[in-house]
Amino acid sequence: MSDKKKKASKANEQSVGHSGYSIQPGKETILSGMQPTGALHIGNLEGALRNWVDLQDSYEMFCCIVDWHALTAEFKDTAGLKDRIYVMAVDWLASGLDPEKCAIFIQSEVRAHAELHLLLSMMISVPTLTRLPTYIEKKDEQGMDSYGFLGYPVLQAADILVYGAHKVPVGKDQSKHIWLANDLAKRFNHYYGPTLVEPSTLLTKIPLIPGTDGKKMSKSMDNHIAITASEEETSAKLKRMFTDPQKLRKNDPGRPEVCPVYKLHEVYSASENIAETIAPQCRSGELGCVDCKMRLAKNLNETLAPMREKRVEIEKNTGFIWDVLRDGAVKANERTEIVMDNVRSAMKMKYHD
Provide the 8-state DSSP code for 34: E
Q: Which of 11, 16, 30, 31 binds ligand TRP (CB under 6 A)?
A: 31
CA-CA distance, 62 to 99, in Å (whole number)?
10
Q: Tell me how far, at minimum, the Cβ of 264 lies from ligand TRP, in Å.
A: 22
Q: Which of 12, 15, 17, 33 binds ligand TRP (CB under 6 A)?
A: 33
User: By C-beta, is 32 or 121 nearer to ligand TRP?
Assistant: 32
* Region of 22-30, 72-80, 166-174, 340-348 interacting with ligand TRP (CB under 6 A): 166-174
Residue 53, phi then psi, degrees to nearest 5: -60, -40
The dihedral sign for the CA sequence 300, 257, 210, 245: negative
Please, are residues 172 and 131 in contact by the beta-carbon 8 Å criterion?
Answer: no
Provide the 8-state DSSP code for 101: T
Q: Which of residues 112-141 bind ligand TRP (CB under 6 A)?
A: none
Number of residues that bind ligand TRP (CB under 6 A): 13
CA-CA distance, 224 to 150, in Å (whole number)?
29
Is 138 considered catalytic here? yes
Applying CB under 6 A, does 180 fall inside the site for ligand TRP? no
What residues does 60 pair with on adjacent strands? 29
Is 331 considered catalytic here? no
Please, are residues 12 and 198 in contact by the beta-carbon 8 Å criterion?
Answer: yes
In single-letter form, the type of residue at position 227 comes to I
Q: Which of residues 34-73 bind ligand TRP (CB under 6 A)?
A: 34-35, 66, 69
Q: Find the catalytic residue in 101, 176, 186, 219.
A: 219
**Half-sphere CA count of 255, side-chain side, radius 13 A:** 5
User: By C-beta, is 170 or 227 nearer to ligand TRP?
Assistant: 170
Q: Which of 16, 94, 160, 217 binds ligand TRP (CB under 6 A)?
A: 160
Q: Which of 89, 103, 120, 168 binds ligand TRP (CB under 6 A)?
A: 168
- SS3 state of residue 159: helix
Applying CB under 6 A, does 170 fall inside the site for ligand TRP? yes
Q: Which of 156, 195, 228, 269 binds ligand TRP (CB under 6 A)?
A: 156
Closest CA to 246 of 236, 238, 255, 237: 255
Applying CB under 6 A, does 194 fall inside the site for ligand TRP? no
Q: Which of 14, 174, 200, 277 binds ligand TRP (CB under 6 A)?
A: 174
CA-CA distance, 229 to 247, in Å (whole number)?
28
Is 27 considered catalytic here? no
Positions touching ligand TRP (CB under 6 A) are: 31-35, 66, 69, 156, 159-160, 168, 170, 174
